[in-house]
Structure 1
């Protein structure tokens, strides 16, 4: 198998040539079913495991090789609609930024923050900025931040990073059920100013994080707005938005892939998490934590988390219209118009699955031995990609309408 770089006439992608059938084959997802115990709210409203509760059938489709912890809580009924390994501890990656922000805002409103700190919080919650998180972590006691929030929110599975890695805030242990508790506090108990400020930032989550990773996977890609998300990723070398961006070094980046002996929390396998609230009135809280086999490409993990999230019973959520189709190649650009001469909106994570709304004829693109003048409209990106990089055998996608 060989690899070559293509110029702008070939949409600036680096493609891997293989047999057509292998390159354009669809990715099959293996589904697992499980039975778990339901949870019941305590007198304070914090959900706890209840072994006497009736079993709940889990619909979550977990891809082969993926370890997942899933919780979906319906705030209208006060009950969980999905539970899978809810108490399992995962390294939090950037999801811990929720706790960092809430600790900073404890007993004071956002208006009391210095302008520099408020700007850091905005960047940390919208663009998942690591530098901002590291500043707050160092200035506010590092692991003591986690200890304080565990006590304040009654968290049961959350713990500071291991003693071997005290500066790695992304190594904070977190579970799906504790993440639901965090959002329940934010929605139902936090001062209104704090709630509106934090959720307002999460509703403005940028597609491209400050480290160059496409962070609109899972909840953000699976459901129509309104939603608010805080995502997490760790252990990947490149994540879309730019073709060459590597993971940032330090607590949340590639350096965080070093395992710390026989720790209870897996620090080695690539992690990808999607958490947030979905639907009118923030009806559902969703927490999906996943670990993937070593060396899993970001686009593959992104696709697997998307499929898992779309399989969940999320009351109040609606899924966008269109057809999900796999892609091939890396450095594939989404453009403002159906032509390589138009501006680039973003770069897709290599091999990621995309939602196609419609297709249109545009500039002819040639990637020998293939030539195609059909372009797919990607509504979630607000742009077009050439059909040549879609994993379908025909130039025109069967069953997809013309724009």
Structure 2
């Protein structure tokens, strides 16, 4: 990973909880058992999260309507959107089952921050652009935390759901990386940002950053596309120790397509397993033909 994980948000919250629990324990130790609720540590590409929401069952290896078959451990969903026509293809669960966004949502955090500056009628400073660039190109969690907080925290995620018309996503209070999103909503969110880029020079610059992400961040979909294909990408990846599950999501746009692949699976399989799932979906779609 190009950068070390962000611990700032986690430290603030766990530090406060630990302090309160310690004080209570000193007063009531004879009456109450001590409790501990550690927060899973962060990985580059996303932050640790509170206890996980119930997860859907594992994906069965059955071809979907687009001819894509996934025979993988864990769970996966994918959605392909034709940006010209709005036509969609996707796994049967693409609009109904969610995963943590992890760092995929940094695309929106950047676009929302830029929109805020535009509403104020001001240009972003070099320092602000540096944070946006680090967040997109290197998946810097500290930068994402700063930009998200500056736009009201959870209010920024509420705007994503409302302004982009998402139908299967939900805020996870105070945890941007744990926002729940469907594969269909992920490509809808990306389409929303790409549409803004047509009229907003700042958002266009954000999309340009997505086309120059660090190579270590450009796994999955870009690796499966023909060599030299211009592609805008923002992936998300985190090993959630509390679940012992890797959450690996891929989000990319090329030509007139937007594709998302969301996965989770046993932690022992490693990050590359999820990247391979993203690449597998992409190759099968290319094999069956994209018109």
TM (normalized to structure 1)? 0.51
* 2-structure distance, mates of 1:152, 1:176: 17
The structure with the largest strand share of the pair is: 1
Q: CA-to-partner distance for each residue in 1:342-373, whole Å, 9 max, x for gaps? A: xxxxxxxxxxxxxxxxxxxxxxxxxxxxxxxx
Number of aligned residue pairs: give it. Answer: 225
Change (3 A) 1:304 1:186: closer
Higher mean displacement: 132-141 or 108-117: 108-117
Q: Which ranges in structure 2 are unaligned for 5 or more consecutive residues?
A: 1-58
Question: Which runs of structure 2 are paired with 1:113-192 in the superposition (5 Å)?
Answer: 113-161=124-172, 163=173, 166=174, 168-190=175-197, 191-192=199-200
- 1:92 deviates by 0.6
Q: Give the structure 2 partner of residue 96 of structure 1.
A: 105
Q: Give the structure 1 partner of residue 35 of structure 2.
A: none
2:220 to 218, 226, 238: 218
* Structure 1 outlier segments of 4+, above 6 Å: none
Question: Which runs of structure 2 are paired with 1:312-331 in the superposition (5 Å)?
Answer: 312-313=285-286, 315=290
Higher mean displacement: 176-185 or 92-101: 176-185
Q: CA-to-partner distance for each residue in 1:223-274, whole Å, 9 max, x for gaps? A: 1311110101010xxxxxxxxxxxxxxxxxxxx5335xxxxxxxx5211111
- 1:111 deviates by 7.1
Change (3 A) 1:150 1:301: closer
Q: What's the secondary structure of 1:68's corresponding residue?
A: strand
* 1-structure distance, mates of 2:76, 2:176: 21
* 1-structure distance, mates of 2:141, 2:221: 21
Question: Which runs of structure 2 are paired with 1:237-252 in the superposition (5 Å)?
Answer: none
* 2-structure distance, mates of 1:234, 1:70: 18
TM (normalized to structure 2)? 0.70
Kindly indicate whether the alpha-carbon contact (under 8 Å) linking 2:110 and 2:132 is maintained by their aligned counterparts in 1. yes
Question: Which structure has the bigger radius of gyration?
Answer: 1
* 1-structure distance, mates of 2:134, 2:260: 22
Q: What's the secondary structure of 2:235's corresponding residue?
A: strand
Q: What's the secondary structure of 1:97's corresponding residue?
A: helix
Q: Which ranges in structure 1 are unaligned for 5 or more consecutive residues?
A: 1-29, 36-56, 208-213, 236-255, 260-267, 317-403
Q: Give the structure 1 partner of residue 13 of structure 2.
A: none
Q: Which has the higher contact order (CA 8 A, sep 6+)?
A: 2
